Each structure stands twice: as structure tokens, then as C-alpha cells.
Amino acid sequence: MTGAVRTLILTGGIGHPFADAAPALGDVLAEAGVRSTITDDIEGGLAELERGGFDLVTVYALRWRMLGSEKYAPHRDRWAFSLSPSGRQRLARFVEGGGGLLGLHTALICFDDWPDWKELLGGAWVWGRSSHPPRGPVTLRPTGLPHAITAGLPPFTVTDEAYGDFDLAADVEPLATVEAEDGVRWPALWARSVGRGRAVADTLGHDRATLEHPVHRQILTRAALWAGGRL
């Protein structure tokens, strides 16, 4: 494949400054020549995939059904979400057919009533089990597994949330880990083939400052290029 990577960034949700951070992500990716289209209309964005022109879908959102706790009640009308059967088919067909998928931070929590999301992204949040400590210093440490995304990069520390105790697809081999709430080191970065496509998950990325950390921005740009078939 040649030419610039073009990514569709799907964003929006509660508890995170997506309105500020998603454009910042677009700026970081632009450093590597990645062109971004940003939308919080998940279904509308995925419908655009069928028109062609995108190499990569980036999920940087917190969109799930918001069941249970009443703390979500004020937000349900705007942000509660269940991906439609057609949306699921479009996204799976895009990735399995040769497109790229980059899931950042809360992407693990998205689409909570779609069992195949775990197999597409490589991991998924489990309500009632998965957790993270309060937001604070988090150190991401490469595992030493050889890969273009992490080659030559050192550990680094940012203020973020360290996700742990989520479900992983059987073939996930972590490129980097973080220490989660139970003191166990959990996968925080992985890259894998999905059909004829490629998927990368990075569980960091709470806000602009995390995205713009000098080492993390190298991971993000490399991840987009790798998933987009240019690295």
C-alpha cells in the first residue's frame, strides 16, 4: 500500500475530555502523515466506510449501553449506545477485509452488547469485574516482544487510568503492560492480524496530555501506520 493513511476517528462519551483530546489525537497522527476525519456519530461514520477512502478506523470513545447505576441517568439520552447489526457488519467487514483498527483507552468499554468486539479489537471490558485505580501515575513498560510499534522505545509514565481484569482474545501477545488495581501487570498495548486486516489496542489515552507525551505519540503514530498497512 502507498500514500497517506486516512483514518476515521469515532469519538464521544462521558468522563473524558474527548472534545479536546480527539482533535489533539488527530494532530499527533498528522505528524506521521495520517489524515483524520473525526465524528461522534458512530453509525453515520461507519456508513461512510462503504464509500471507500479510509484505511483505518480509530475508536476513541466511551459508548456503551449505560445500564445499571443511576449515575449514568443524566447522560443516557445523549451517550448511551448499542451498535446496530449493520454497524457491526460494516466495522467487521472493513477490518477483516484488509482495513485497520486502532482502539484507544475506553475503546475496550465500547459496544458492550457485541460479543465479537473482543475478537475484533483483542480485548473487552467486563462490567462487574474489570477495573482501574483512581487516575494517577501509570507507567507503560514494553515487554521486549519485537515489533515495529515499540522498537527502541523506553518505559514512560503519564497520568492516566490503568485498566485491568478485562477479557482478552486468545491470540493477544502484549507489546507493553501497566500495573493495574490488583497489582498485576496487565496488557496495555497489543497488535495482531484480524482476517486480512490489522488491529492495535492501546489502553492509555485519557486526555490530551497523555496522547501528547513524547514516547506515547511515537506509539500512536507507529500504531496508525502499522494498522493502516504502511509500517
In the block, residue with C-alpha cell 447522560: 75
pLDDT of the residue at 101:
98
pLDDT of the residue at 76:
96
In what helix (H) or strand (E) does residue 64 lie, and over which residues does it extend?
Answer: none
Architecture of domain 6-227: 3-Layer(aba) Sandwich (3.40)
* Chain Cα centroid distance, residue 55: 15
Crossing angle for the helix pair 214-227 and 18-30, to the nearest 10 degrees: 70
Do you know the residue count of the chain?
231
C-alpha distances out from residue 63 to 82, 147, 164, 209, 212, Å? 8, 30, 19, 22, 23
- In angstroms, rounded to a whole number, what is the distance separating the alpha carbons of residues 8 and 47? 11
Q: Which set of grid coordinates corresponds to residue 29?
A: 497522527
* Chain Cα centroid distance, residue 25: 12
pLDDT of the residue at 68:
86
- In angstroms, rounded to a whole number, what is the distance separating the alpha carbons of residues 202 and 204? 6
Domain ranges of the chain: 6-227
pLDDT of the residue at 1:
53
178 burial class (0-12, 13-18, 19+ CB within 10 angstroms)? buried
This model's pTM is above 0.85: yes
pLDDT tens across 120-145, in order?
999 999 999 999 999 999 999 999 99
pLDDT of the residue at 2:
61
Query: Which parts of the chain sit beneath pLDDT 50?
Result: none
Q: 65 and 79 in contact (C-beta within 8 Å)?
A: no
pLDDT of the residue at 180:
85
Write phi, then psi, for 9 (nearest 5 degrees): -95, 115
- Cα three-residue angle 61-44-216, rounded to 5 degrees: 30
- In angstroms, rounded to a whole number, what is the distance separating the alpha carbons of residues 202 and 187? 9
Percent of the chain residues past pLDDT 70, beyond the cut: 99
